[in-house]
Structure 1
């Protein structure tokens, strides 16, 4: 098995690159978070063999990185990722004038305040409790279960566990089911923090392609059957970052194939309610198989600060989840659960607000991209973002150039397992239109820099660190 460094680089991407260019590629991986501080890199000999380059070239690469402060090396020992410690300008993420496109989320719904006020009597009745719940408030689990039943997947409240957000739920699932060294099927591209969670739990990602036009269903099914991964992580509704939605017949086929392969199918539904004008409502994947494990969240339809998520799974899996959970978390806060109960009673108003905000955000992005020659915005019927085609493999260069104009823009490879998709970048449609217009103005200036071949000065590269 190859090293994670080469997996992130993409051997084909750096084929024939000079030592300086190769060092630049590794520096970019460090700066946008694909390689983490303290992570151990392959030895010179191992990296030379993997990349089919001379050892002297790799020695030069590591020497350049060490000279810039991006790795530390021990003679006869390891090479580890670092960041320069010399006096440097503040991180761009700390600059109040910067616009951060690495976060695709909206501000709170207008109904959040009223829902909070209405929740206080329910909370007051619980003052004598611990203030958190391992399984979740019964009335909240009932409301979540009813939502699934209404959408076509009959669900009992005992099949719901309330979590502190969807990512917390995913980590709980992986901690419960995890087997280090096993394979995990993931979409390419996918949600970066899900990839990080899989790596943290020791999984080896096996990618299957998806784009704005949808999935390669045949490839997905064949990969499930040929590799028989222990888990598969999919985002079938307004996929993050492409915005695609998986049709019902393919949901049925994939659920059946995963069951046949003995794969735990984990479905992320955090973006399910972010519809603008898709024109149809898919059936939950859980309706096609009782074995499907589903993760959901309030953060995208109410507020990112509402750390309320949930897991829907068979009762036997729920029992295992509840047995493991206290080892790293005692439960979910009751205050936020009480507010969530109130918000779920107002879903039509919530989804109408979200639709209007996303419609305006999409229009603002389309208007801004219309001034950038060579960039194509795909159809975006909903979701958090649009998966833009840059027309050339310049995504990382554009990301670094954008930071010189006060814009944080993660490159396409940030959403992949192997340093690929340099033609793509994700642009959120969640910001207010005026903020989006300013962001796209800065992007236009960065795009012009890339078109002219301008590069960020070495002393400014620390600004590219993704927080």
Structure 2
């Protein structure tokens, strides 16, 4: 059985790599969270067998990682992931000068403060209640339901549950309907924390490809019919990270196929309102099938610090969710719910502001890419990021080089299963233009290091990916 380490590395990506290159790739897995602190790694002997390398090579790999503080080893015992106890004195993370592109999110909307002030009388009126809100405030559930109705899906407040963000919603869905050992269809690439949640709930993942130009519909539907997964996780609106959007026609066909396969579709609409200039608006995916569960949130259109999300589902599913939720959470904070009511009343102004911010961020990324020469800005009509094709499998190497220039940059494999997508890189379009310009300058310097061979042996990285 393949270990999680080798699964994350992708054996085809490390064949022929030197011990130093292997250590660098494992360090990258640790730095961007694909390997977690405290996680047990294979023994030197087991890793050598899996990679079909000599034991001396794997001993050298773990030795390099231990010297830098990324693993701890016990003689005759286990090797576990750790992090250096202190950052190097000149490391950008240590003095706060690093630019973090691992988080694709904007700062708060200008209307948040006023909405908070207006929400206080509503909060004060709730002081005579218990303060617990298991399904969510009726007024907020009606506002979320109305938004679905405005977008083309008739929805009642009873079909809505308020949660502490979309990821919280997804985990609640998995805790309620999840089946350990079953298959789940996921897009590749996709939101990394969703993959982690599915792994934690015991699912075996079936990837289906998504490009900037869209989904491979035939692959997706064939996978549904052939494998009949218990669950499918899809981001059909301004897909994270590619920015693609599914048309109504494809939504209808995919929903019908999933229904035939007995697959529950969980749709993530966190990015659904991030339109810049798409020019058309699809109906919510759930309009095409009663077996669809939708999760969404205010995090990308208002502020990540306001932990408000929701679930839209059939009333029978909502009843099941309500039965499970008290086992780990007794509801969502009332203040944030009161603020969300105010914000949802101002959606046209809110989405207009978001579009303006994203447009400026997109232009800043496109301008920065000009200095990199061979990299082109892909079509990006909305969403959180630009999904770049690097032209060579150097994404992890570029991520490591970027840290030396104070840029935290998750490589393409962070958004995949099995350590693939080394040709790809996600660049957020959510930062202010001046901050993006500085990030792109740091990326230019890191790109120059990689192209000139100034980082880990680039020739070995490229060779290992094509053998």
Q: Mind listing any 5+ residue stretches in structure 2 that lack a counterpart?
A: 458-467
Residues 81/325 of structure 1: CA separation in 2 closer, same or farther (3 Å cut): same
Output the CA distance in 1 between the equivalents of 2:89 and 2:228: 48
In the TM superposition, residue 91 of structure 1 has moved relative to its aligned partner by 6.4
Q: Is 1:402 matched with 2:402? A: yes
Output the CA distance in 1 between the equivalents of 2:11 and 2:203: 21
State the TM-score, normalizing by the size of structure 2.
0.94
In the TM superposition, residue 355 of structure 1 has moved relative to its aligned partner by 0.8
Residues 327/456 of structure 1: CA separation in 2 closer, same or farther (3 Å cut): same
Q: Which residue of 1 aligns with 2:308?
A: 308
Output the CA distance in 2 between the equivalents of 1:12 and 1:333: 47
Q: Which residue of 1 aligns with 2:373?
A: 373
Q: Which residue of 1 aligns with 2:255?
A: 255
Q: Which residue of 2 aligns with 1:32?
A: 32
More deviation in 46-55 or 84-93? 84-93
Q: Mind listing any 5+ residue stretches in structure 1 that lack a counterpart?
A: 458-467
Question: Secondary structure in 2 aligned to 1:7?
Answer: helix
Superposed CA offset, 1:58-94 (max 9, x none) = 3333333334332223344332212233774386445
Question: Secondary structure in 2 aligned to 1:300?
Answer: coil
Residues 151/302 of structure 1: CA separation in 2 closer, same or farther (3 Å cut): same
Output the CA distance in 2 between the equivalents of 1:147 and 1:247: 20
Q: Which residue of 2 aligns with 1:195?
A: 195
Aligned length: 457
Is the 8 Å Cα contact of residues 69 and 83 (structure 1) preserved in structure 2? yes
In the TM superposition, residue 254 of structure 1 has moved relative to its aligned partner by 1.2
Superposed CA offset, 1:143-177 (max 9, x none) = 11111122121211111000001111011111111
More deviation in 325-334 or 125-134? 125-134
Question: Secondary structure in 1 aligned to 2:387?
Answer: strand
Output the CA distance in 2 between the equivalents of 1:389 and 1:189: 13
State the TM-score, normalizing by the size of structure 1.
0.94
RMSD over aligned CA atoms reads 1.8
In the TM superposition, residue 227 of structure 1 has moved relative to its aligned partner by 1.9
Residues 265/87 of structure 1: CA separation in 2 closer, same or farther (3 Å cut): closer
Residues 287/61 of structure 1: CA separation in 2 closer, same or farther (3 Å cut): same
Residues 237/329 of structure 1: CA separation in 2 closer, same or farther (3 Å cut): same
Question: Secondary structure in 1 aligned to 2:381?
Answer: coil
Counterpart mapping for 1:250-329 below 5 A? 250-329=250-329
Q: Which residue of 1 aligns with 2:461?
A: none
Q: Which residue of 2 aligns with 1:180?
A: 180
Residues 85/302 of structure 1: CA separation in 2 closer, same or farther (3 Å cut): closer
Q: Is 1:129 matched with 2:126? A: no
Q: Is 1:388 matched with 2:388? A: yes
Q: Which residue of 2 aligns with 1:465?
A: none
Counterpart mapping for 1:32-431 below 5 A? 32-85=32-85, 88-89=88-89, 92-431=92-431
